[in-house]
Chains A and B, each alone.
Chain A
């Protein structure tokens, strides 16, 4: 019985072994003894199979030996980690960019995996502050693995990647928001906190708009270098094209340059850019214009006029919107007027962009059709409300007539039935 019992287990056991062998052959899996030991070691030496399986390199067929060298086919640690077998051990921080660049600067090699992947990261890195300081021996600066992570390095398109657009700011903040770590560099560490309140952060993280900027959009990634004053406007203009064109043609371009002021940042700030409102312009305390212009100068007068134009149109649109909403809630059909009001809103948006020309006459001419549309829509709302009153008066008269007929019928019935 014991034999037959044992034979009974032998068949499925053998099948399982065959299946495992088949699976190993079919997937092209080769032995990787590194993980056998390192999966049981504590951090920073520990790398589990599960962690490494998320790494894009592992998914493309690369192993520990691809970077660290050695012989992963040997179970003997001495052989596996022998200098003879090319084992490099822990990669020195200074050597990391060069090591990554071995493959990532090789166009022919990279093309096998991803033909669209750039191969200039290493050369870009060397032009960056990070790269330059590393070359000078500062190992505190970021190298490839600091941003991209290591052993579980995911493709940037992966939402869990440390360099996915949504996560980039957090990744940069690991160093740049750490006041102690950054102390010796004497640069601010408030960027991340400011960015967290900005309109760009809201667009990217809250609304999930991946086209919204994060740190690397303005500062570059591998070629990270703080832009000088002249280039900041260029960075903004990659998205805010019309504003930049108008500003470049405006008198402020020259005035800012000669005063040594950066273009966009002077009025809008940099990391903590808030959603611009009409309060930014004008002669009030909150208006940025008053930072340079004082009462009586031409710019002060122009700022007041521009603000007045914008406020006037916004007010006219609000007024029309309110009366149209009231009419709509009363069941009046005002969809065409509501649709037309969208055009007035477009005019206001365009005029807010035109503010960057700082040309009062131009803004006035743009605002004019918007004012006309808003006035027309307000009239449509007023007419709809008047029509509503007319209907109610008509209803009242009809109900009185109906009541009179009913009384007549009642009296007649009383008469014939008495």
Chain B
């Protein structure tokens, strides 16, 4: 303890450490029956940290390139000490992170935590969700197996349906007309350099905003607390909430370890661009609701391609979702009721379509 105190005093003399962490000491977390939803953001952050650490470890052995990628992942899975564990945790953690990010977003939506003054927190959070999905899309191709190859082919083809900019975007993503080794190198670049850089920056902005604005309380509860301040209950962020958050992280770590040990992530069969696509090919679960919707749209609606309509509609929904806190500022209560309804519909639609897409032939 003496050593720690000495180190702290040393840091305080040089950086004003105590002043730096003073806001954390003062920070409180509202305590109510929904408080456990506050853990979701932290768990997503923890899973992101896991991704960074395991990703760096995988980088020690992974070799991007059509002739080497699959073999290098196979090497990691079979020859590298605990390579299987690192890769399986990386894959499972990626999926769990996307799940917790979605759950976090919907909890924010239903507790209306996006309201003024937290609009930018919402915007940064939604962009982070898109970036996380980008991580999923780019990382899925990296083992260069058959499923990944054809899922990327279909995924980039859908991008090509965006009017005007679609085709140049598709060629940019693929590094040419077709999905080749050039696409793999490109996706590797996005996955390990572009996306981590952008995501880290945005996470810092997101956390800074959370720190500056404090944690939101559901409107109903906020009104009750305003009417009767004695009812207001809070918990110190440090160490009380932080320790609980750490406990949640430990649970997440246990779940990750169990998934990796009992269900190690499958490697599949090496991609062969010259064979036909496996029957019933589907994207990863988090893209399935969009994929299934596009499949249900007729090939032609009036004179426009059905797929183009689907892509444009999804693009517009994504834009509206991003700008959600700025909608109906003149009639906040009425619009907020609408937003809750839309949120429930969106959640039900996404869940329903994902299940339908999973079982559809």
Contact = CB atoms under 8 A, between A and B. Distances in A.
Interface of A: 331-333, 335-336, 391-392, 394-395, 398-399, 402-403, 405-406, 409-410, 412-413, 416-417
Contacts of B253: 402
A333 B257 contact: no
Contact of A395 (B246, B258, B266): B258
B247 A335 contact: no
Interface in B213-271: 239-240, 243-244, 246-247, 250-251, 253-254, 257-258, 261-267
A412 B243 CA distance: 9
A394 B243 contact: no
Contacts of A398: 254, 257
B239 A402 contact: no
A395 B257 contact: yes
Nearest to A333: B77
The 8 nearest A-B residue pairs measured at CB: A331-B264, A395-B261, A333-B77, A402-B254, A391-B261, A333-B78, A409-B247, A402-B250
A406 B251 contact: yes
Given A399-B257, A406-B251, A335 B267 contact: yes
Interface centre among A391, A406, A412, A416 (most CB of B within 10 A): A391
6 contacts: A331-B265, A332-B264, A333-B74, A333-B267, A391-B264, A409-B243
Contacts, number: 55
A414 B236 CA distance: 14
A413 B265 CA distance: 36
Contacts of A416: 239-240
B261 A413 contact: no
B250 A405 contact: yes
Contact of B254 (A335, A336, A399, A412): A399
Nearest to B270: A335
Nearest to B73: A333
B84 interface: yes
A243 B89 CA distance: 53
Contacts of A403: 254
Given A413-B244, A416-B239, 6 more contacts: A331-B266, A333-B78, A402-B251, A402-B254, A409-B250, A413-B240
Contact of A335 (B74, B85, B258): B74
Contacts of A399: 254, 257-258
A154 B204 CA distance: 77
A336 B250 contact: no
Nearest to A417: B240
Nearest to A399: B254
Contacts of B84: 333, 391
B243 A331 contact: no
A394 B264 CA distance: 14
Contacts of A395: 257-258, 261-262
B203 to A, nearest CB: 25
Contacts of A335: 74, 267
Contacts of A333: 74, 77-78, 84, 264, 267
B294 to A, nearest CB: 31
Contacts of B264: 331-333, 391
Interface centre among B85, B244, B250 (most CB of A within 10 A): B250
Contacts of A410: 247
Given A331-B266, A399-B254, A394 B74 contact: no
A332 B265 CA distance: 9
Contacts of B261: 391-392, 394-395
A416 B84 CA distance: 40
Nearest to B267: A333
Contacts of A402: 250-251, 253-254, 257
Nearest to A396: B261
Contacts of A392: 261-262
A410 B267 CA distance: 39
Contacts of B240: 413, 416-417
A381 to B, nearest CB: 13
Nearest to A398: B257
A143 B332 CA distance: 94
Contacts of A412: 243
Contacts of B77: 333
Contacts of B239: 416
Contacts of A413: 240, 243-244
Nearest to A390: B261
Contact of A406 (B74, B250, B266): B250
A409 B267 CA distance: 38
A406 B247 contact: yes
Interface string B68-86: 0000001001100000110
